[in-house]
Each structure stands twice: as C-alpha cells, then as structure tokens.
C-alpha cells in the first residue's frame, strides 16, 4: 500500500500589514486590548484591491515545488481549498495549475471554508493511497478581507489573507496515518457569506445582491469549535494507534487563541506541543494550517519521526482532522538552480499556453471563413 508523505511546503502572505490600531483609526468601537485579549490577534495581512487569490496560491505552490525539487509536469493533481475563488467558474485551481506549468495535472477547487485545507489534504492522500496519483499539490488560500463588514467589530478584526501549500508524494513509509471529515448543515447559518449563488440569483444583474459580506454568530461558533477541535483530534489519534503523550506537535486551525488553548487543554497537551501564529496573521481560513506548518518548520519544531495532529473547523458547519508522521528531512537550503529551473518552466508553460490560444484562434477564423464561403 502506498502512503502519502509531505515532501514540499510553502506559504505566501500579502505585504500589507494591518495592526489592531488600524480599526480604531477607522472609527470602529474597539481597541488593541479588546481585540488581543479576546482573540490573541495583534495583526494580519490584507491584499491590495484587485489582487486575486490565485496570485497567493501560485506563489505558495512554487515554494513547495522548490523545497521538493519537483517538476510541475510531474504533478498529477492540483487541489485548491478556498471559499474565496477568483470567480464562479472556472475553478481557481485551473488558473493555478496553468500558471505553474502543471499541464499534465487535473485541477479542482474544494470549499469547506476554514476546514478546507485538511479536507483537501485527506482527499489528496486518498488519491495517492488508491494508486490514482503519485504527486498531488494541495493548496489552501483565502482572501476574506474582500467579504468583511467594516462596521462589525466582532468579525472584521478576526480575518487575514494568505496561502499555504504542500506537495504530497507516494511513499512506502507511513505519512498520513488517519483522517476524519464531518459536517453539520443544521448550523450552516451560524457562519456564512450570502450571495453569489443560485439561492440568491441575480439573473444576470451583477449588482442585484450588493456586496456579499461575512456574518457569524460568534458565541455559538466558539462553544461548538472548542469541543469539535478536540473531538476530531482525539478520533485520529486513536485511529493512528497513538496516545496523546506520543503527539509531538498540535497544529490547529488558527482562528482564536482561546479556542486553541481550550482544545489543547481538553486533549491534555502541554503548551510547548501546540503551535500558534494567530497573533501575526489572524484567521486566514483555509490557509491557516499550511501557513502554521511552514512557520513551525522554519522554527525547527518539525523533525523526522514526529507525530503531528492537524485539526480544523469552519462554515458548514464543517470539521476535519488528520494525523501524520513526518518523514521528510528539512533541507537547510534550496538547491541553487531550482528557482531558476522553475522560473524557466513557468515561462515555457506560458509559451505553450500562448501557442494553444493562437492555434484555437486560427482554427476559429478558418472555420468561420469556411462556413461563410459555404453559405
């Protein structure tokens, strides 16, 4: 049986840093102390107007390819976890796949909101375990800043933008050992962004629904999330034949520091085994766990043989957890020629794309002329 092992990783966040004081200057009835004491968040990153989420996803995926010294054309599948796609169709994953030069790979989006990355990781692992794929790029990327109500202090201070990616590869050694996914649609309305779908159809009028903004019942989400994070984590720990004492690193969804601390306490995990960077990035939705993983690696908190638990929750209400045994040595540096090779491959992909577009245009022109002459 093949196992799915993480062999590459990368992250990308926007340059624009927004501290808590920025919301005070906006005239919001809040303060740095109010935000940080309730959430643990001190700052977050926001994209500039008009930057698509695919930009962030591509940069994170490129880094993952560099770490693994992998070729984009070796990819069999690209899965993008996002609830903020570039557009309704086609999938944003198709843009990422194209810009990477992964022209032999399938591509699709997966929307489980903040739980999306672990959902996607479990899906990619299943493709490898079944023998249907050998190399799968899994990306989590979101730009919730585009859907925030700037007059609602209970939501707009929580979120940030970013992307993280991992490259999964088939291995003979155990990597991802167990996973679970779940959903409780009865609570879907507790955290949602309305509009943009068939339930509130605009019938072609782009402005009919106004701007779709995020709404959340914070107290109910908080109570549910603190319990669900630990329950899902406990399930995959047991299914992996591990004990809590054997868990080396706990990587939960970075939504709120109090939720993270509560889940760790329920599991009986000491603080030194829990990773959190919510103070720096806020809640980046599907990007939060892969960004946290990249930073844990850079801080020398991930080593070969470590047992790691990833657990998340989100709108839906959705949740997911995954247990993995880390099997990839952490390189001290990227091979000198790898970035140059990837840049060349990306340019070649762009050239191949331009040729295909030109061929389609020529065929269309010829077809129109033949139809006109025949008529």
Question: How far apart, in whole angstroms, are the C-alpha atoms of residue 292 and residue 283?
Answer: 11
Question: In sequence order, which residues have a C-beta less than 8 Å from that of residue 102 and are 6 or more positions away?
Answer: 72, 73, 75, 78, 137, 349
Active site residue 42: no
- Cα 250 versus chain centre, distance: 17
Question: For residue 242, what are its two tokens?
Answer: 């591990």
Are 80 and 92 within 8 A, CB to CB?
Answer: yes
Q: Catalytic site residue 283?
A: yes
Tokens standing for 105? 């790979």
Q: In what order do the strands lie in the sheet with 176-183?
A: 176-183, 318-325, 307-314, 249-252
210, 149 contact by CB (below 8 A): no
Annotated catalytic residue within 12, 20, 98, 114:
114
* Candidates 20, 111, 146, 283; catalytic one: 283
Neighbours of 369 (CB within 10 A): 10
The residue annotated as part of the active site, out of 12, 253, 256, 294, is: 253
Q: What is the distance between the alpha carbons of residues 125 and 122, in angstroms, rounded to a whole number?
A: 5
Q: What CA–CA distance (Å, rounded) separates 275 from 230?
A: 15
Angle between helices 92-100 and 53-68 (to 10 degrees): 40
Contacts of 56 (CB under 8 A, 6+ apart): 12, 13, 14, 47, 141, 143, 161, 162, 163, 287
Phi, psi of 327 (to 5 degrees): -130, 5
> Is 156 considered catalytic here?
no
For the residues of 266-294, what is the DSSP string, one character each? Answer: HHT--GGGB---HHHH-B-GGGHHHHHHH
Determine how many CB atoms are found less than 10 A away from the CB of residue 43. Answer: 18
Catalytic positions, written as ranges? 114, 253, 283
């Amino acid at each position: 049986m093949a196992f799915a092992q993480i062999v590459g990783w990368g992250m990308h966040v926007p340059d624009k840093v927004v501290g808590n004081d920025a919301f005070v200057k906006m005239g919001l009835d809040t303060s740095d102390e109010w935000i940080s004491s309730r959430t643990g968040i001190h700052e977050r990153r926001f994209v500039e107007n008009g930057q698509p989420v695919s930009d962030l996803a591509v940069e994170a995926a490129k880094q993952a390819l560099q770490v693994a010294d992998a070729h984009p054309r070796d990819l069999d599948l690209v899965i993008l976890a996002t609830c903020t796609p570039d557009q309704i169709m086609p999938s944003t994953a198709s843009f990422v796949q194209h810009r990477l030069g992964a022209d032999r790979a399938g591509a699709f989006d997966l929307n489980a909101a903040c739980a999306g990355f672990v959902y996607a990781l479990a899906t990619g692992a299943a493709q490898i375990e079944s023998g249907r794929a050998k190399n799968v790029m899994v990306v989590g990327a979101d730009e919730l800043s585009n859907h925030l109500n700037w007059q609602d202090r209970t939501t707009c201070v929580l979120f940030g933008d970013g992307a993280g990616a991992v490259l999964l590869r088939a291995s003979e050694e155990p990597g991802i050992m167990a996973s679970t996914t779940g959903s409780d649609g009865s609570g879907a309305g507790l955290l949602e962004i309305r509009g943009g779908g068939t339930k509130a159809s605009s019938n072609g009028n782009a402005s009919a629904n106004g701007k779709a903004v995020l709404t959340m019942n914070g107290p109910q989400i908080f109570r549910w999330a603190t319990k669900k994070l630990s329950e899902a984590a406990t399930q995959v720990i047991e299914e992996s034949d591990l004990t809590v004492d054997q868990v080396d690193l706990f990587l939960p969804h970075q939504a709120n520091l109090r939720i993270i601390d509560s889940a760790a306490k329920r599991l009986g995990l000491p603080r030194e085994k829990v990773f959190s960077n919510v103070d720096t990035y806020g809640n980046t939705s599907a990007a939060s766990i892969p960004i946290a993983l990249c930073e844990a690696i850079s801080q020398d908190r991930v080593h070969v043989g470590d047992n790691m638990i990833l657990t998340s929750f989100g709108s839906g209400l959705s949740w997911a957890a995954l247990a993995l045994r880390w099997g990839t040595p952490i390189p001290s540096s990227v091979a000198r020629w790898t970035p140059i090779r990837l840049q060349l491959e990306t340019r070649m992909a762009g050239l191949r794309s331009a040729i295909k577009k030109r061929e389609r245009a020529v065929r269309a022109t010829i077809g129109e002329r033949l139809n006109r002459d025949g008529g």
